[in-house]
């Protein structure tokens, strides 16, 4: 039970803005099972931001940029810093680039591209299916947790963690399909395709690069999910 608690704390310590301690001894054993809870927090914050935007009559671009800012804040900037920064002195982040000069230019360009894609996609998504977009922040963390736990021997995740993640994914798929029916098919298919494509990348990843790889692919899964929902919204608007 203590290890579950340590893993819960480590998940928020390493993957969110919350300044919690990090337990090195057995603290990572179930960590991946709790990381999707950060996606749940993002989901609820985006819901309240959407309500505020509707009440205050914010335009679509402002609403979309606000959502992106919320994601960056909740993750402690980890996703942004994973692209553009050399992280050394912040204790809650458990990874770093080996060389700022090697990764800086490519990282900045990719981060800006992600921001542009997210903004355009969110600004062109119907309000009534926005919650489907937000589920992507949960799904991405579940699938990356599965990839890391199943295919990388350096992840130190137990079989219990894999079982919990599988249950989480099945429940998520059931819920979004029940709530949005055919609208949910496209983002789910996109997620499964990326899962299959990224398996070998996680098999080859070293222990030193695993955290950075997880951050990178969380953003990839999020982007694929968001784009899928935006495409559905566009098709429905044309039809």
Write out the chain's pLDDT in tens, 239 residues.
778 888 888 888 888 888 888 887 766 788 889 999 999 999 999 999 999 988 888 888 888 889 888 988 888 766 665 444 433 333 444 444 444 444 444 555 666 777 788 888 887 777 778 889 999 999 999 999 999 888 877 777 778 899 999 999 999 999 999 999 888 999 999 999 999 999 988 888 776 677 777 777 888 899 899 999 988 888 877 75
Per-residue pLDDT, 88: 38
**Confidence at residue 219, expressed as pLDDT on a 0 to 100 scale:** 85
What HEC string does the chain produce? CHHHHHHHHHHHHHHCCCCCCCCCCCCCCCHHHHCHHHHHHHHHHHHHHHHHHHHHCCCHHHHHHHHHHHHHHHCCCHHHHHHHCCCCCCCCCCCCCCCHHHHHHHHHHHHHHHHHHHHHHHHCCCHHHHHHHHCHHHHHHHHHHHHHHHHCCCCCCCHHHHHHHHHHHHHHHHHHHHHHHHHHHHHHHHHHHHHHHHHHHHHHCCHHHHHHHHHHHHHHHHHHHHHHHHHHHHHHHHC
Identify the pLDDT of residue 33: 92
Cα–chain-centroid distance for residue 72? Answer: 11
Q: How many residues does the chain have?
A: 239
What is the reported pLDDT for 97? 42
pLDDT of 38 = 94
pLDDT of residue 98: 44
Q: Are 15 and 78 in contact (CB under 8 A)?
A: yes
Calpha distance 18→80 (Å, rounded): 16
The region that residue 20 occupies, defined by phi over 0 for left and psi between -120 and 50 for alpha, beta otherwise, is beta
pLDDT of residue 77: 67
Supply the pLDDT for residue 81: 55
Burial label for 200, CB within 10 Å (0-12, 13-18, 19+), is: exposed
Task: Return the pLDDT at 27.
Answer: 64
Q: Where are the domains of the chain?
A: 2-13+33-238
d(C-alpha 211, C-alpha 94), whole Å: 7
Task: Answer whether 12's CB lies under 8 Å from 29's CB.
Answer: no
């Amino acid at each position: 039970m203590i290890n579950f608690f340590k893993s819960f704390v480590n998940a928020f310590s390493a993957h969110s803005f919350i300044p919690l301690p990090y337990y090195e001894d057995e603290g990572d054993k179930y960590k991946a099972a709790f990381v999707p809870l950060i996606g749940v927090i993002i989901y609820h914050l985006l819901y309240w931001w959407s309500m505020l935007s509707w009440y205050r009559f914010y335009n679509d671009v402002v609403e979309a940029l606000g959502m992106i800012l919320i994601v960056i804040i909740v993750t402690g900037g980890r996703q942004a810093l994973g692209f553009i920064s050399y992280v050394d002195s912040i204790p809650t982040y458990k990874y770093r680039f080996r060389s700022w000069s090697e990764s800086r230019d490519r990282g900045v360009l990719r981060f800006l591209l992600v921001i542009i894609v997210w903004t355009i996609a969110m600004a062109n998504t119907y309000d009534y299916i926005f919650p489907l977009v937000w589920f992507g922040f949960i799904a991405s963390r579940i699938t990356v947790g599965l990839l890391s736990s199943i295919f990388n021997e350096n992840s130190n995740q137990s079989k219990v963690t894999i079982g919990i993640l599988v249950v989480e994914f099945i429940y998520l798929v059931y819920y979004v399909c029940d709530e949005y029916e055919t609208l949910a098919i496209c983002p789910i298919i996109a997620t499964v395709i990326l899962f299959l494509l990224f398996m070998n990348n996680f098999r080859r990843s070293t222990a030193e690069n695993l955290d950075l790889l997880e951050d990178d692919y969380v953003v990839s899964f999020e982007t694929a999910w968001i784009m899928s929902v935006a495409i559905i919204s566009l098709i429905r608007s044309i039809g």
